[in-house]
Amino acid sequence: MIKGKFVTAFIAAAGMGKRMNLGINKQFLTIDDVPILAHTIKKIEASSYIDFIILIIKHSDINYLGEIISKYKIYKDYKIVYGGKERQDSIYQGLLNMPKKTDIVLTHDGARPFVSVEKIDEAIEKVFVTGAAALANRAKDTIKVSYNGTTVDYTPNRDFLWQVQTPQVFLSDILLKAYDQAYRERYYGTDDCSLVEKTNRKILLIDNSYKNIKITTREDLIFARAILNRS
């Protein structure tokens, strides 16, 4: 808890991992012989603010998750929820299944195992500023916008560009309102912040380490092992 508020963390691990093309969901691949998802769960569980964990997975991955829980244990209260077609659908299932006393919701990608506990706590602490907060990096590369996917239409000012990560943290009523509006108006966002933005809520950005990568491709596994070896 924080300030008497009950905190529920969602770990989104229902993705297909198509870009890996390895025949197994990316969260269950290993780094240093430990599944990526196990690394992630331990980081989330280490936050003293988090009271409850919801693990969102594909139904077909229940045996993989069972092996992780059996070997690595989860000491906080938790619940397993089966995800939907898109990430947004999966998080919504989490919202429908979270404890009714939840005041604060934290959403995190199962394939981001290198987030620090300190930054998890900072994101939770700062949610009270605007009701919504997210870890992010300033863009290092020059970004080009191309409407046709072939030629450049314009170059936005890099000083104003951020690469948003997870965790993303919200007061629960704010996130529920955003999801209800999204389904009512039939739109999908690429992350939870994009839905909350649609309700005209400001998102507080928290500058974070570039090590908080999302493992999506085979090349990311190489970077992940390098990060772990240097930790």
Q: Does domain 7-225 have CATH number 3.90.550.10?
A: yes
pLDDT tens, position by position, 26-64: 788 888 888 999 999 999 999 999 999 999 999 999 999
Give 102's DSSP letter.
-
Tell me the pTM. Answer: 0.92
pLDDT tens, position by position, 84-132: 999 999 999 999 999 999 999 999 999 999 999 999 999 999 999 999 9
- Domain map (residue ranges) of the chain: 7-225
Task: For residue 71, give both structure tokens.
Answer: 């070997």
Describe the strand order of the beta sheet including 52-57 as a list of residue ranges.
Answer: 77-82, 52-57, 7-13, 104-109, 162-171, 132-138, 204-207
C-alpha 46/C-alpha 64 separation (Å) is: 22
